[in-house]
Structure 1
Amino acid sequence: MRIRASALTMACLSALLVSGIATPRMAHAEESVASRVQVLEQEEFKANIGRWAKVVGALCDGIINPSKGESEKNAARERLEDDVIEKYDQGYRLSPLKFSTDPVDAARADVMTVLTITEAHGKKENRSYTKRKVDFTPPTGFTQGDTLRYFWFLFCSVSDFKSQYNDALSVFTEMYGKTLQPGYDDDEKIRELYDKKLEDMESAMREAGLM
């Protein structure tokens, strides 16, 4: 059966292929542990591309910006309740690497602030670009759940934010993931963990009634 996905879903899938989810690396005799793990993750990602399209589409298609106002914040909470978005996020974070510092937290702290983004103007043949600063800091009074919903809205909807986050995550994953957690010396165990990662994210979207 042919998979049909929105442009937003495909953009988010493309982002996953260059993020901590699945960063392609060249195999070298001296490759880092993180690089080897990311190659295995990419293989599992490609093997399950149809399922990834569905779970990313479930999250991103129709996602609501909770920072826009009180009604949008409440609508975002109703669509993705705290336990749902936390379960999705915990699944996303699963890794066989043993981190001295959580790279996801580090990358988010790096980008959920004032960033310079590039905007395109005009049609392709006459397109011009401008840069401007945008504050992506979570609004005052946001709960932990609100902040997660806000992060995933930005990841799904703002290409420059997503790109800068992916770059930061890749750097911090290499920096802080020097060794494997106990029990993950075998490639098959690592693949099983990445299967669980996808299953947990799917389960969260089913709980939300989005799959």
Structure 2
Amino acid sequence: MKLQMAIDTVDSKKALELVEKVHDVVDIVEVGTPMVILEGQVAVRALRAKYPDLTILSDTKIMDGGSLEAEYACQAGADIVTVLAAAPDPTIKGAMETAHRYGRKIMVDMINVPDVISRAKELDTFGVDYICVHTAVDVQSTGKTPLEELEETVAVVKNAKVAVAGGINLKTVGAVKNIGPEIVIVGGGLTGSANPRETALALQKVIKA
């Protein structure tokens, strides 16, 4: 099980400062969608230049122009690129084919998909690398968590690996670990902590136990 740190609400300069503290204790660093909207792939390029061996995810959340937008992220140095499960199938397949051509991976984000299980089964036949169960930040305030959908998705996905995101922190990561996804994505629960390095180490202690 891998720990992915999602960095959302800073610019590339602050992202570099944060990653400096944790690059050797997290498995994947995510350049979050807000950063991509703010600066494009600037942070991906900066991180790749400084950390050539770091696994970097560009959370592009592609909805259209799959091949082109995936290519932008891959050229910037992303190892993993995200596309929305709600996107048309040709968009998802185009993004996947481009990522694979570069030797990179594609993650399909299930955010706001009405029937997660049916869509996960469909996507699993495409050859995508990861399917991410995701409770949106705006939805978390209602009390919803990704745990139920995660458990259902893990049960039906046979080929892709499963990731999970949505309000996960030190208090909830144990329940996630018990379900067994490949990637646990932690955003504010890690980047917003007083000591991100100590928090990352504590999270790793749980998920790799």
For the pair shown, the structure with the greater C-alpha radius of gyration is 1
Q: Which has the higher contact order (CA 8 A, sep 6+)?
A: 1
Q: Same fold (TM over 0.5)?
A: no
The TM-score normalised by the length of structure 1 is: 0.29
- Structure with greater helix percent: 1
**Structure with the largest fraction of strand:** 2
